Amino acid sequence: MNRQEYFNYVERKLNELALRIDTRAKVNILDLNIHSESFYLHLINKIMMWSLESLNSTVSNTEAIDLADHPRKIILQISSTSTKAKIESSLSKIIDKYESYKFKFLSISKDASNLRTLSYKNPSKATFNPQEDILDVRSLLNAFLNLDIVTQREVYEQIRGELEIEIPSRKTETNLAQIINTLAQLEWNDSESEIQVIPFKIENKIKHNDLDTAKWIVDDYKIHNSRLDKIYTEFDRQGANKSRSVLQSIRTIYHKNRGTLSGDELFYKITEQVELVIQESANYTSIPQEELCLCVNILVVDAFIRCKIFENPEGYEANVAAR
């Protein structure tokens, strides 16, 4: 599921950042602390759906407070120092201007679970509840888990944009991309008279593999199987095993995922990863997403019919061989 992939990525990146902040702070390299304030401002706004803004951009060196959400009356300090003394020091410096605001403390390098169990002196007029108002990476991840999938995707992209370093392309050419480039030049008209529907029943294989919502994709694209035969024949004239390498690459993706997925989820994962391989190929000529999706579906359904992916019901191979 995409939720699991998004969570795994976000969890890994936030914990990697926390470890680097902690390690660098021990040798007095604090540049990540400075940049993390801006990073967490946007991240918390997205995850918690707040409207934090930086006080340091409007009030120079605001003591004890880094960010504020004025409509919600929230003030927040971001720190790599996670101690009771640090929190009490911050509480003692909150000015009366923030009376009735809720003070929150975010630990960006260490787990803060133990800090939530302690009692704190709070001489300020801001409110502070340790159990609710002390945040860390774990609490942000818990909030992330409950987001809708669209927002999770946005958080994933935001973190990726911040923490992934662009490196020079090392893309390689693939036969998958080459055949997609060929397919993209053709007109795939369902009503073309020369295309023959395969004479044996695909329904048995569809049912055998519990394809429910993916059934319509197989039904829609199976008519192109005989035409793809001709394209593969022409493709093989360019080099031995070219068509075989395309089918084998799809089969490899199938086998890598069949242990954890099945049915519709497995089918969609195959199309998703085939599409990704194509997009990351050096010889891929970019086409509109809808056209790419169409071509990928044609290839995957063809591999399904050729018995390269998914289990076959008894006697299915004999039927295919008799075509």
C-alpha 307/C-alpha 302 separation (Å) is 9
Per-residue pLDDT tens digits for 27-36:
888 788 888 8
Please indicate, yes or no, if residue 168 is contained in any of the structural domains: no
List the domain range (segments joined by +) for residue 100: 2-163
Question: Is 263 found in the same domain as 203?
Answer: yes
Confidence of residue 172 (pLDDT cuts 50, 70, 90): confident
Per-residue pLDDT tens digits for 303-317:
999 889 999 887 655
C-alpha 248/C-alpha 239 separation (Å) is 15
Question: Is 116 found in the same domain as 55?
Answer: yes
Per-residue pLDDT tens digits for 240-260:
678 889 999 999 999 999 999
Question: Is 199 found in the same domain as 91?
Answer: no
Quick check: helix, strand or coil at residue 69?
Answer: strand
Question: Is 152 found in the same domain as 187?
Answer: no
In contact, 218 and 304? CB cutoff 8 Å: yes
pLDDT of residue 200: 54
Per-residue pLDDT tens digits for 218-237:
998 888 888 888 888 888 88
pLDDT of residue 196: 46
User: Is the per-residue pLDDT at 197 higher than 60?
Assistant: no
Mean per-residue pLDDT, 99-121: 95
Q: pTM score > 0.85 for this model?
A: no
**Could you write out the DSSP letters of every residue in 160-214?**
HHHHPPP--------HHHHHHHHHTTS---TT-TT----SS-SHHHHHHTT-STT
Question: Is 240 found in the same domain as 147?
Answer: no
Question: Is 145 found in the same domain as 88?
Answer: yes
C-alpha 107/C-alpha 52 separation (Å) is 17
C-alpha 67/C-alpha 58 separation (Å) is 11
Query: How many domains does the chain divide into?
Result: 2
C-alpha 113/C-alpha 214 separation (Å) is 45
- The last residue of a domain, from among 110, 133, 163: 163
